Structure 1
């Protein structure tokens, strides 16, 4: 009887200790990654040499990415991870009360700690990538919670700034005046695009103006015109934005695609010309729907009414982003002349957590993205439709939402492809057209 009671007490104590080791809040769980983002590298090296397994993971993360002045070393990172994941066993003293007047005793309970396991290291890696890419909605899911992502955000923002500085090192500035004809504007356009991406809008505007001056209304000027219109929008110059966009067809051919229409829509909205806005919007959505209906690999599922318009749902397999498989897309055609386009996407991510796949239903707008639901198995078409209907009625609140803003360069539409897929800027279209071009080239007989 005493033995059984003593065993029960020890077992309960061991379960309690194990529970304390595993039931860790997301912010504490992300501590190894936070060390990688914030701890001085010299201190990380010392702690790693002393056997601190969190520091070993942190240093391996920097070795993998080559950030914070740490040289890239894939083999060294792998060796550190092996050490960080070593299981160590320690003993915890547990007091066992005496029974029947006998004195109590202290027993040593072995407690195993896996350190930063391989699975946990992979989770931290993916969480870190969402920080480096600036993907809050996905980061909230992968890092454990919105609060956990926010806790890591300052360190992630610092590393993104470092990555941008590294990208700018060695870039030779091109003087727009040194380019004298339209056929020589390729490098100037590359410089303009880089300046725009890094927030140097004045230099981007100077390069775009030079391309427009040299190329006139020719298609070579269209990219520069869209960029120049965006810069006008950032300055609140809607009329100038529409004027410079004049020669650009909407929607535009690849690789501009839907974004040309989105810039014009933003300008019309800034002018509060809602008739012009609706004309641009409806033309864009009609082109997107027609393109999706014409795609050989895409199948129309159904069109159904929702509050504020109708949604057309397509089965459309293919890669949306790296590692994210697209399965379905739904296009909202709004009834309200001022309403913005929306896109709904069902996607699948392999090896999401613990080696298991997960399915996500997301809503995209030009100014933001929301995760509406995630599933352990692929939802049916009816389930997708039900979620979309409830979202449009206001009955379904998103799990996470990210709204465009902050220090990133302004944009008429952050996700033009997601709200109007199937057009010239859609990676799936560009890849398919590239493959067709290769087939045509390979089948052309030599002279």
Structure 2
């Protein structure tokens, strides 16, 4: 049995990103199953000018995954002077199966998100990801151009009142996401000028500080953040502290860096201790600091449920904050759940191990201790440099329990709804 080259295996996805759409439609209509998958991918995502059509995409995938059998003639030579003969044999071709389509979908998502480390793993190999990269980059650029052309810009000069800055803030957030730092800086500067040091300016100050960091101006970043409490209330949360930490590291003020880091970790620990449904399971020493292990349920990402989190208090003044999570991913139909132990830092995440059954507290502790003393290497890692809009790539995961944590936001929303209901007079 031979192994299929990952580059060849990804041909249907490469066609989705690179082949002219009309060519894909023609091949799909003629029964080409790779083209049918490629067209279904575009119909699912609405890329390359193809209109979104979830039902049409699903129908195409059913055709793409159809197993076909055809009879092939094989000549069998004669023996001992006897004449040869031809026999017919059945050869089956499975097309693009559901499992393969899901893998290709995930590979395509990594291309669109620009995640080379995870893409190399999901797409089959780093070489397979690199082979897809030019077509993926072209589609990303097309997405940016389309989005920019569809959104109305807000001229900062036309906004003259702090109470009317919502549209300007939305424009600033869009601009920084699209890489327009000059436009985002102009919008955030206008909000700060109109709103002063009050709470309405805090979001804009965090954005402006990040832009200063990307320009190599850490002193200006620290100055603009001065009025913002750290950690900040919802919905900014831990990110305010993490922006200042990045500025302190950039200017090599390690005393200031440690002060910000330790204050953030302490606030996160205190928040988890105070949560009604969160329980502290164990406190223990680790190499380089101490750890607190909590039982804490809640969705970390769609389809990934958090069950435990370990917050680590560090002694090295330059050490980056980190947290280790036990999460559960439920399987598809007929598949069992899998538990993962992941380490999150601001610059990336690592999968330390996985379990086929829920591990005990002692097992989680053992793995954390081994990771901290350097005897446990991760199974896989995804690094992300501190580039635009990413002073911390994983702010909630590194410092849970604070104002930007979805579990906290959901709890506050439920409390607000309950208070509103109880204060509404009966008819």
TM over 0.5: yes
Q: Provide the aligned C-alpha RMSD in A.
A: 2.5
Matching residue within 172, 182, 199 for 2:152 = 172
Aligned pairs for 1:205-244 within 5 A: 205-244=185-224
The residue number in structure 2 matching 1:440 is 419
Kindly state the Cα deviation for residue 284 of structure 1 after the two structures are TM-superposed.
0.2
Partner Cα separation in structure 2 for residue 353 and residue 389 of structure 1: 35
The residue number in structure 2 matching 1:374 is 354
1:33 aligns with 2:33: no
Check the 8 A contact 1:37/1:159 in 2, yes or no.
Answer: yes
Partner Cα separation in structure 2 for residue 76 and residue 405 of structure 1: 39
Aligned pairs for 1:116-131 within 5 A: 116-131=96-111
1:60 aligns with 2:40: yes
The residue number in structure 2 matching 1:422 is 401
Partner Cα separation in structure 1 for residue 21 and residue 154 of structure 2: 36
Check the 8 A contact 2:156/2:190 in 1, yes or no.
Answer: yes
The residue number in structure 2 matching 1:411 is 390
Partner Cα separation in structure 1 for residue 8 and residue 334 of structure 2: 19
Instruction: Give the secondary-structure state (helix, strand or coil) at the position aligned to 2:331.
Output: strand
Kindly state the Cα deviation for residue 103 of structure 1 after the two structures are TM-superposed.
7.5
Q: 1:317 to 1:60 in 2, by over 3 A?
A: same
1:50 aligns with 2:30: yes
Kindly state the Cα deviation for residue 322 of structure 1 after the two structures are TM-superposed.
1.7
The residue number in structure 2 matching 1:385 is 365
Kindly state the Cα deviation for residue 374 of structure 1 after the two structures are TM-superposed.
2.8
Instruction: Give the secondary-structure state (helix, strand or coil) at the position aligned to 2:16.
Output: helix
The residue number in structure 1 matching 2:331 is 351
The residue number in structure 2 matching 1:6 is none
Instruction: Give the secondary-structure state (helix, strand or coil) at the position aligned to 1:331.
Output: strand
Partner Cα separation in structure 2 for residue 97 and residue 356 of structure 1: 50
Matching residue within 153, 163, 168 for 1:188 = 168
Kindly state the Cα deviation for residue 354 of structure 1 after the two structures are TM-superposed.
7.6
Check the 8 A contact 2:214/2:388 in 1, yes or no.
Answer: no
Partner Cα separation in structure 2 for residue 38 and residue 354 of structure 1: 35
Aligned pairs for 1:2-41 within 5 A: 19-20=1-2, 23-41=3-21
Check the 8 A contact 2:211/2:388 in 1, yes or no.
Answer: no
Partner Cα separation in structure 1 for residue 350 and residue 220 of structure 2: 33
Deviations 1:261-290 (A, max 9, x none): 011111111222111111110000000011
Partner Cα separation in structure 1 for residue 176 and residue 15 of structure 2: 32
Q: 1:166 to 1:359 in 2, by over 3 A?
A: farther
Check the 8 A contact 2:7/2:128 in 1, yes or no.
Answer: yes
Instruction: Give the secondary-structure state (helix, strand or coil) at the position aligned to 2:293.
Output: strand
Kindly state the Cα deviation for residue 256 of structure 1 after the two structures are TM-superposed.
0.6
In structure 1, stretches of 5+ residues that fail to align are 1-18
Kindly state the Cα deviation for residue 187 of structure 1 after the two structures are TM-superposed.
1.1
Check the 8 A contact 1:344/1:363 in 2, yes or no.
Answer: yes
Check the 8 A contact 1:225/1:244 in 2, yes or no.
Answer: yes
Aligned pairs for 1:11-410 within 5 A: 19-20=1-2, 23-92=3-72, 107-351=87-331, 355-405=335-385, 409-410=388-389
Kindly state the Cα deviation for residue 427 of structure 1 after the two structures are TM-superposed.
1.3
Deviations 1:15-50 (A, max 9, x none): xxxx45xx4344333221222112221221222122
Deviations 1:127-154 (A, max 9, x none): 3233323444544454344444444333
How many residues get paired?
426
Partner Cα separation in structure 2 for residue 380 and residue 276 of structure 1: 38
- Using structure 1 for the length normalisation, give the TM-score: 0.88
Kindly state the Cα deviation for residue 320 of structure 1 after the two structures are TM-superposed.
1.0
In structure 2, stretches of 5+ residues that fail to align are none
Deviations 1:338-391 (A, max 9, x none): 101011122222336985533222211111222222333333333322322222
- Using structure 2 for the length normalisation, give the TM-score: 0.92
Kindly state the Cα deviation for residue 296 of structure 1 after the two structures are TM-superposed.
1.7
Check the 8 A contact 1:292/1:298 in 2, yes or no.
Answer: yes
Q: 1:108 to 1:200 in 2, by over 3 A?
A: same
Check the 8 A contact 1:137/1:370 in 2, yes or no.
Answer: no
